[in-house]
Chain A
Amino acid sequence: MSFFDTSNLVLAHEIISRYPKPKSATIPLLHLAQEQHGWVSDDAMREIAELTGTTPAEVKGTGSFYEMFKFHPVGRYMVNVCTNLSCQILGGEELLAHAEETLGVKAGGTTADGMFTLEDVECIAACTEAPCLQVNYRYKLRVGTEDFDQMVHDIRDGRADDIPEHGTLALVRQAIPAGTGAGITAPENAREAPVWMARNDVPEGSDDKDGGA
């Protein structure tokens, strides 16, 4: 029984084909699984192991190292409030406390309706716009308590079209059209210098500055 649906399975193979070694696709495939399912299930990891020629233990070993992968169901919207230094000194912790009160869950918890999971996170690289947060990795900057309440309201009311559901990151994927790629370079199959480096061998002062191209 396949975990990935048909189109994602095609995508999974395409992703794997970009790396010299299939195991390199582990993290992108875990993201793909999370995009399809909202979180990463054991079945997903078993399938990723099969696709990448590893064991499920290796996939989980890798996946569990990274915070973004959730191995149990989470809310449709992941609300990540930054409390690191720049945000802390401008109200990040107060914002988190407000969020906990508003959503009725502690950081790490998921609301009963399955809409929100609240997290207390490390620096999200928007320090000048403190306090800040991300909802499904989309930024909300200089967030006051009223802004927060409005945001929650909008999401609950379905007025958050700009934020995809949890698991989806970029809305655009890289696609290398057939015939345009240079192809993967694996340690086993590229022991020679690439052809263009031969230009270096043209003696200094040669008229043929283009290396004969």
Chain B
Amino acid sequence: MPTHSYVPHAPGYVDNEGPKIVTSRFGYEDSFTLERYQATGGYQALRSALDKKPAEIHSEVREATLLGRGGAGFPAGIKWGFLPPGKFPYYLVVNGDESEPGTYKDRLLMERDPHQLIEGCLITCYALGLQQCFLYVRGEMALAQERIAQALNEAYAEGYIGKNILGTEFSVDIVLTWGAGAYIVGEETALIESLEGNRGMPRLKPPYFPAAVGLYGQPTIVNNVETLSNVPWVIENGARQYKTYGSEKSPGTRMFAVSGHVKRPGVYEVEHGVTSFRDLLYGDNFCQGIRDGHELKMFVPGGGSAPWFFEEQLDLPLEAGPVGAAGSMLGSGGIVVMDETTDAVKAALRLVRFYARESCGKCTPCREGTTWEERVLQRILDGEGRPSDIELLLDIADNISPGPYPVAADPAQELDAIPFPPKQTTICPLGPSSVAPIASTIRRFRHEYESKITKRDVIPVAAEKAMS
């Protein structure tokens, strides 16, 4: 049995002994209430922000190098600077549509500390002149919606949100809105489409950032829940203090969800950049190693869209640069650990199936290609694979993501890493993400594929029927 040291009212969260920036209240059972929030310093950052010029707040966040926590890791302060001057109104859209396989931390932040998120939103709106905020929560997260609704109602009643906040001329509404089940809506332009009442299909780029053209065609900041949850702490304690945690390029902390075959799976707040995968997967304060009697086979280092890592990558720090150079990404902070009992083809199929099911259908290569990949993989697993299927899979993949696909180095085969990111024939990275498990497993475990398909060399009956 894995060792539990769970906080009973926050299942999944593990209180390790590191610095706490966003999970500081998780220990309180009533952490989501306004009463607890205020008793633990809540809304002080807002008060102090309102005493400063908006531009000073922006500078502070820029200075802190607060990296976006949604997946791309882009510095929030820089993103905020992309707002075209004078093209009002500006909007804030909070991306709470967390649904990357293997990832969760935004859900806990919304359920356990909604006021922290709200305060972050308010400070951001104040700093940038954003005139309305839409807090978009994933549809399936009923409790998060409930906690945020409750928190918003309390905050309105206390004058933290709405007209003339805390007696100042700063006024902004935060509107809780929620999705209805579509992974792709986590992509920021798809999220905006969804918020406009449309199908959540990503928009064409350019423009590359909603900061230029976003909600209703207006400049819009889209930030992730965890990113905004950091803002009150940064403003309260200052950028300098923030940068005492983590590494120079990746200051502060980050939340990681580690699941799969480890002794103590959980969601951890981890110092950014200075902790390694090995620390996290094997450290006593963290996951405490692979479950007894088993050994590491592979792990997904940054959500389902990340190419897979292996034993050789364990000592990489949790930092975007080195992980990218090694052929993958930190992405959304979801790590899935698989031991030797895991069937690589089956595991790859499961993720590919996810992308096939979640493709929005806009770009031909993704819409048709992901489903085709799924069907070929399924055929192989069903014992109906053909010898040409491995090359077929790689070629379908190449037509979705042309050129060498990012993968980890494989010393045994003397193969170098191909750095992140992949190229794409599609608008957004969803289709190319389906290639990650295929490219990762075929490179490393080609024999597993071959052992499943060398048995048969005939066209399956169903397919023959389809062709006649």
Contacts and interface: CB of A to CB of B under 8 A. Distances in A.
A contacting B, Cβ–Cβ less than 8 Å: yes
Interface of A: 18-21, 23-28, 30-31, 52, 54, 61-63, 65-69, 80, 83-86, 88-90, 122-130, 134, 136-139, 141, 169-177, 179-187, 190-197, 199-200, 202, 209-211, 213
Contact of B170 (A83, A173, A184, A196): A196
Nearest to B106: A125
B86 interface: yes
B162 A27 contact: no
Interface stretch (B19-27, B254-262, B440-448): B254-262
A185 B131 contact: yes
Interface in B283-332: 300, 304
A123 B102 contact: yes
Among B103, B140, B177, max chain A CB count under 10 A is at B140
B88 A30 contact: no
Contacts of B177: 24, 27-28
Given A24-B197, A30-B180, A190-B89, A125 B98 contact: yes
Nearest to B338: A89
Interface in B146-202: 146, 148-150, 152-153, 156-157, 159, 161-163, 168-173, 175-183, 194-201
A174 B86 contact: no
A127 B132 contact: no
Contacts of B163: 179-183
A129 B11 CA distance: 8
A24 B197 CA distance: 4
Contacts of A174: 148-149, 152-153, 175-176
20 contacts: A18-B175, A20-B216, A65-B182, A66-B200, A85-B354, A89-B336, A122-B183, A123-B99, A127-B257, A134-B140, A169-B178, A170-B145, A175-B153, A180-B163, A181-B173, A182-B132, A183-B163, A185-B131, A196-B54, A209-B51
Interface in B110-162: 126, 129, 131-132, 138-143, 145-146, 148-150, 152-153, 156-157, 159, 161-162
Q: Most chain-B Cβ atoms within 10 A of its Cβ — which of A19, A184, A192?
A: A19
A181 to B, nearest CB: 5
A182 B88 contact: no
A197 B146 CA distance: 32
B55 interface: yes
Given A62-B198, A67-B182, A202-B53, A182 B173 contact: yes
A127 B181 contact: no
A23 B265 CA distance: 42
Contact of A66 (B51, B131, B168, B179): B179
Nearest to A198: B169
Nearest to A21: B216
Interface of B: 11-12, 51-55, 86, 88-89, 91, 98-104, 106-107, 126, 129, 131-132, 138-143, 145-146, 148-150, 152-153, 156-157, 159, 161-163, 168-173, 175-183, 194-201, 216-218, 257-261, 265-267, 300, 304, 334, 336, 338, 341-342, 346-347, 350-351, 354, 357-358, 360
A30 B259 CA distance: 34
Contacts of A209: 51-53
Contact of B89 (A18, A88, A185, A200): A185
Given A89-B260, A125-B104, A181-B162, 7 more contacts: A27-B179, A66-B139, A68-B140, A85-B347, A85-B351, A89-B341, A174-B152
Contacts of A192: 88
A187 B54 CA distance: 22
Contact of B267 (A128, A175, A182): A128
Given A180-B162, A187-B216, A85 B146 contact: no
From A18, A61, A65, A123, name the one whose CB has the most chain B CB atoms within 10 angstroms: A123
Taking chain A's interface residues, is the majority helix, strand, or loop, or is none over half, making it mixed? loop
Contact of B156 (A89, A126, A180, A186): A180
Interface core residue of A28, A128, A179, A186 (most chain B CB under 10 Å):
A128
Contacts of B149: 170, 172-174
Contacts, number: 254
A166 to B, nearest CB: 11
A193 B173 contact: no
B140 A84 contact: no
A158 B363 CA distance: 46
Contact of A122 (B152, B172, B342, B354): B354
Nearest to A31: B180
B100 A123 contact: yes
A211 B53 CA distance: 8
Nearest to A137: B142
A125 B103 contact: yes
A21 B152 contact: no
A122 B196 contact: no
B179 A187 contact: no
Contact of B350 (A84, A183, A185, A213): A84
A135 B101 CA distance: 19
Nearest to B99: A123
B189 to A, nearest CB: 15
Given A67-B182, A194-B88, A83 B12 contact: no
Contacts of B100: 123
Given A67-B180, A172-B153, A26 B197 contact: yes
Contacts of A169: 139, 142, 145-146, 178
B129 A196 contact: yes
A54 B197 contact: yes
Contacts of A127: 101-104, 257, 259-260, 265, 334, 336
